Structure 1
Amino acid sequence: MSLKVPGALSLLFLAACSHLPAKTPLKAEKPAEKKESEQSRLPNQDLTPSMLFDFLLAETALQRGDTEIGLRTYLKLAKSTQDPRVAQRATEAALQARQPAFALEAAKIWTEFDPESIPARQMMAALLVHFDRLDEARPHLEKLLAVAGDKIDDAFMQLNSLLVRSPNKSAIFELVQQLAQPYPDLPEAHFAESQAAWFAERFDTALEEMKKALALRPEWEMAAIYEGRILARESNARAIEFFDDYLKRYPKANDTRITYARLLLAERDYSKAREQFQKLLTENPDNPDVAVAVGLLSLELQNYDVAESNFKRALELGYRDPGMVRFYLGGISEKKQQIPQALNWYRSVTDGTQFIPAQIKYAILLSRTGRMKEGLQHLQQLPVANDQQRAQVIIAEAQLLRESGAYRKAFQLLSSGLEKLPDSPELLYDRALAAEKIGKADIMEQDLRKLIGLRPDHAHAYNALGYGIAEHSSRRLPEALELIEKAIKLSPVDPYIIDSLGWVHYRMGDINQGLSYLRQAFAMNPDPEIAAHLGEVLWVQGMKDEAKEIWQAALKNHPGNEALIGVMKRFMK
């Protein structure tokens, strides 16, 4: 007899078990087999009043945010009932509460009481990898591969997605090597080994293993594309030669041809790139995927008319994600200054991944055409599906307020958003910028330091903090420089960070070095604020005519820009 869960508790228990489905990186059992095997493994256990109380206590505590009590109670229940469903719920609740240590403890119980459960082993493997306990994860992964049956190919293809988050790339490579060893004739095993080698920066091995995968299945486009990418690390010429040869043997390999065309674009071989576009269209006149691909490639060439015609063709052919296509068509209309058409395209995106971005674009365009109130109302009425979308909409509202000069309202809106989403990196970053605008340097610094704690690889957080400190305290210029140098290590070719680096060098008296960086940043992106900085340093260096020319050209393209107007007033009296 299985665990008895009567009446109201049954509803509570079922709801609890449905909160957070386990993410399964490898294929599970077939549903019918799974149900039958799970039933046979459930314990013979009656529900006692004490257990009922603990169930209610655990769920109530979790719902009220008292995570530790809720999780500890569920762990106690899992051990006492020996019911894998309870252990599963404890694991999932811990993950939802972002408590991986609790999750691992619960997953151990889950696996112990249901050693044949594929989801339990998947969860154990994922958590052990999270804690970089790869030796302990290995037997679970071996078991998962062993029971994958005819889905072994999918299992290997999903393996690196499970392992990629581990910081120990060399150890991951060795683990994947060991897991792949029993499958020498499986292309996917070599593919997984190649990917792991790539992440471990063992590029020769990555190429060797991808060649083995392609030798076992020569028509496998994904392997061909990855082999080309590995070759491109050494030189684009080698990759181009490889793709050219592969496409002669497999002329209908559309994805490979698209990758080839993109590589030709990177090499500025526009003639050959267009030739590939034409082949794609000629050989696939009724393929909406090809029409979209050619549209995207044409966008990269800034050939908006060709892109537009292909996107419209994709819609006619019934492309599977029309919202995405309409979003791109809106962007093209915007580029062509066809604002009414752009508004119509954005408004026509009613669902899909581009729904929120399209509606944000719609609201911004409304605002920039003198209809800010309407734009704000549109944003405020948008249905949001999750916290990420909620943050996106709040940031868009704040942008409209900032563009209208309502900096304090923007700050208040972002602060209100952070009350609900205190760890949102996007909201923290945006409020920091808003705080700086209204003279709240302490909040700017507080938000950016918190963001760096949450996302230590956030280059723009280091940059904004360094720049903000430099603007508000001459005494802290060395600290500002150190922060910006951290940013440049994380993102070495970002023009905004290079601009900050040049500006701080200038502020510290190293004018020549500052000027060099600012020229580099401006050449990469003639942004009005970069133009303001570059012009000031040129002026101070006595190159006033060049400074005026840069400022005036930037102001023509960005009329009303506060940074430009401010610096021109200070120097061009």
Structure 2
Amino acid sequence: MFLRIISLLIASSTITACSLLPTNQASNNLDVIEDSKSLMVNGNNSNIAPSNTSITPDRPFPAPTLYSLLVAEIAGQRQQFDISLVNYLDQAEKTQDPNIAERATHIAQYMGATKYTLHAAKIWANSDPENPQAHQALAQAFMIEGDFSNALKHMEAVFNLVGDSQFDYLALNAQELSANEKYSLLQQFEALIQKHSEYSQLWMAKGTLLLQLENYSDALISFEQALSLRPHYTAASISKARALHKLEKTEEALAWLDELHDQQPKHKGIGVLRARILIDLARYSEARAAFQHLNQQFPDDQSIKLSLGLLNIELQEYDEAIATLTPLTLSRPIANEAYFYLARIAEIQEDYPRALLSLNQVQQGRQFLPAQLQTLRILMQEEGINAARDYLSRTRSQHPNFNTKLVQLEIELLIQEDDIPEAYNVANLALNEEPDNTDFLYSRGLLAEKLDNIEQLETDLRRIIQLNPNDAEAMNALGYTLADKTNRLAEAQALVEQANKLAPNTPAIIDSLGWIHYRLGNLDKALVLLQSAYSEFPDHEVAAHLGEVLWQLDRNDEAQDIWQQGLEANPESSIIKETQKRLNTDAP
């Protein structure tokens, strides 16, 4: 199955104000971190310039060391922290002195030099293994580097030294780890719980990882265990509510939050989570009332004002939304989002010039690309493809960091206009400047297939695989195309089976395997695979393949039912219509 194509523009056209409301996930960690003020957080000097206090040695240093440290201190006083760091780190390595290593660690933290922070903190912890601050600094350095396993080992060292350590903080920051890394970390936490089952933060950390892994039932058990050990553990209480909501025990979650709110009426995290759950339930009037109350309590919180503005959009209270959002355009941290949603209101009101003016103000942040999509949609509607392409050309020159995405948008616009040769030309020109850009290679390969240039498709996909030998998507696309367009079935099967090893249980890959077995004449095997793919991903292309296999097995009524389902989902599906025509399904 050759599925990949840029879909940002198509997806954007279906966005509603409701779908742009801040989600529960967006603030998952804020309310919990608020209640995880830890030694690790409070002890981080990364935002404070290193003090001018000199090292007082515990033992005499040789003259070269003293001279190097003196140079480092003078450099630090002159704000030349790079020189200061180099000298301190050099002497930390040579002397293995914990005081020097500590100083080097703090300077590196202040500079944001993560690799040097890690190196210095290792020397500090190794030279002073009984110092909890050294292990704390090293744990944080490992976290910044993404090595949570080693971070946890040093957090355990802190716990063993002082009887306390912020394990929950580590788990909260593991959000971006892969599932396999989270499972490995979970095993470490479970081993710690075996040794320290009475420590509530370990249960909280375990529950947090389980929540991230979408094991909501076990997460709830862990949060409740943490609360049984520490009844007023606010972070665990909030996380319990989140787990209840994920388990669709929504009324129970709201009742629990109401109880927490009665106990802590000024706690922002409790109120925000309750309001976001109401948004998830599409109870927008109640959610707005909740955010209005939060806005009164926390008038300087701009994210609350933004949420209130978006709820007014959802409730079609556009004047109130404009009144709420417009002042936010004066605040740099949130101005881009405010302009984006003001443009959304203008578009709803069909005031397209005003919408374009607001969109033009979105210059960065997470709404930058959605703003480009919205601009293109308006330009296509009001002025046509040439105006949209001119706009993209200007935007690429102004925002070179977004060049790849903007080129892909132009390609998709041309595909929507059914101008495949020009789309191919755009991809070709982009590859002249960036010959190993895998996104451009994939786009050109897809377009080459549409132009029946299988040789170019194969060249581009093999180049992607050469650049990234674990690219299962490229392997699958090449294997499927070889099976569909050529007789090189053995080669196609090897590619798709390798893709399946790299990304098991992926519906698009299972579909490709099914299609290969169909082409090989293994109808029963093909049927099992295609049924599996269709049950997980009822796409019209999979429907075309499954229907064809059923037809060849003389299960014509079932085939027609599957094709009909595919056409209901995608009435313009050319692959289903071509399949039906090729098989002459209308013949008596």
* 1:245 counterpart (233, 241, 255): 255
**C-alpha contact (below 8 Å) 1:74/1:90 kept by paired residues:** no
Deviations 1:96-136 (A, max 9, x none): 9xxx8x99667635766898678952465348973955686
Classify 1:450/1:363 alpha carbon distance in 2 versus 1 (closer, same or farther; 3 Å): same
Partner SS for 1:382 = helix
1:566 CA displacement: 5.8
Bigger mean CA deviation after superposition, 82-91 or 201-210 = 82-91
Aligned residue for 2:43, secondary structure, equals coil
TM-score normalised per structure 1: 0.60
Give the aligned partner of residue 381 of structure 1.
Answer: 394
Pairing 1:528-567 to 2, within 5 Å after superposition:
529-530=541-542, 532-533=544-545, 537=549, 557-558=571-572, 563=575
Q: What code does the residue aligned with 1:352 have?
A: G
8 Å contact kept, 2:241–2:257: no
2:286 maps to which residue? 279
CA apart distance, 1:354 = 0.6
Query: Does structure 1 residue 359 correspond to structure 2 residue 359?
Result: no
Q: Aligned equivalents of 1:508 and 1:137: distance in 2? A: 56
Q: Which runs of 5+ in 2 are unaligned?
A: 1-38, 58-64, 72-85, 296-301
Q: 1:371 to 1:190 in 2, by over 3 A?
A: same
Paired residue for 1:7? none
1:246 Cα deviation after fit: 1.1
The structural deviation recorded for 1:81 is 9.3
Q: TM-score, normalised by structure 2?
A: 0.59
Counterpart-to-counterpart distance in 2, 1:289 and 1:366: 30
The residue aligned with 2:521 is 509
- Unaligned runs of at least 5 residues, structure 1: 1-23, 50-71, 266-272, 299-304
Identity of aligned residues (%): 22
Which one of the candidate residues 451, 460, 464 is aligned to 1:447? 464
Residue number in structure 1 paired with 2:55:
40
Shift of residue 210, structure 1, vs aligned partner: 1.3
CA separation of 1:131 and 1:195: change in aligned 2, threshold 3 A? closer
Change (3 A) 1:181 1:480: same
The Cα RMSD (Å) is: 5.8
Deviation at 1:75? Answer: 8.7
| Within-5 A mapping of 1:352-501 | 352-363=365-376, 366-367=379-380, 371-382=384-395, 389-403=402-416, 404-405=419-420, 406-416=422-432, 418-419=434-435, 430=443, 433-434=446-447, 436-437=449-450, 438-439=453-454, 440=456, 441-448=458-465, 450-451=467-468, 453=470, 460-461=473-474, 463-471=476-484, 472=486, 473-483=488-498, 485-486=500-501, 489=504, 491=506, 496=508, 499-500=511-512
Residues 397-435 of structure 1: CA distance to partner in whole angstroms, max 9, x if unpaired?
34345543124324324535645xx5x775565465456
Aligned equivalents of 1:227, 1:368: Cα separation in 2: 47
- Contact 2:518 2:526 (8 Å CA) reproduced: yes
Change (3 A) 1:370 1:526: farther
CA contact (8 A) 1:315 1:325 kept: no
Pick one of 302, 309, 323 that aligns with 1:316.
323
Alignment of 1:74-473 (within 5 A): 79=93, 108-109=122-123, 121-122=138-139, 124-126=141-143, 130=147, 132-133=149-150, 137-138=154-155, 142=159, 156-161=168-173, 165=177, 166=181, 168-174=184-190, 177=193, 184=199, 190-196=203-209, 206-214=219-227, 216=230, 220=234, 223-230=236-243, 236=248, 239-240=249-250, 242-250=252-260, 253-258=270-275, 260-261=277-278, 273-274=281-282, 276-285=283-292, 287=295, 307=314, 309=316, 313-318=320-325, 321=334, 323-324=336-337, 327=340, 346-347=359-360, 349-363=362-376, 366-367=379-380, 371-382=384-395, 389-403=402-416, 404-405=419-420, 406-416=422-432, 418-419=434-435, 430=443, 433-434=446-447, 436-437=449-450, 438-439=453-454, 440=456, 441-448=458-465, 450-451=467-468, 453=470, 460-461=473-474, 463-471=476-484, 472=486, 473=488
Q: Given residue 356 of structure 1, which amino acid in structure 2 is its aligned partner?
A: L
Answer yes or no: is the 8 Å Cα contact 1:91–1:103 preserved in 2: yes
- 3-state SS of 1:36 partner: coil
Deviation at 1:226, TM superposition (A): 2.6
SS at match of 1:243: helix
Structure 1: distance between partners of 2:363 and 2:163: 42
> Does the 8 Å CA contact 1:134/1:172 hold for their aligned counterparts?
no
Pairs aligned (count): 482
Q: Give yes or no for contact 2:511–2:542 (8 Å, CA) kept in 1.
A: yes
Contact 1:531 1:551 survives alignment (8 Å): yes
Distance 1:427 1:41 in 2: 58
Displacement of 1:447 after TM fit? 0.8
Residue pair 2:244, 2:253 contacting (<8 A) in 1 also: no
**C-alpha spacing 1:396/1:175, structure 2 compared with 1 (3 Å):** farther
Query: CA separation of 1:94/1:519 partners in 2, compared to 1, >3 Å: closer, same or farther?
Result: same
Once the 2 structures are TM-superposed, how far is the Cα of residue 518 of structure 1 from its aligned partner?
5.7
Supply the AA of the counterpart residue of 2:67. Q
Judge conservation of contact 1:401–1:407 (CA < 8 Å) in 2. Answer: yes
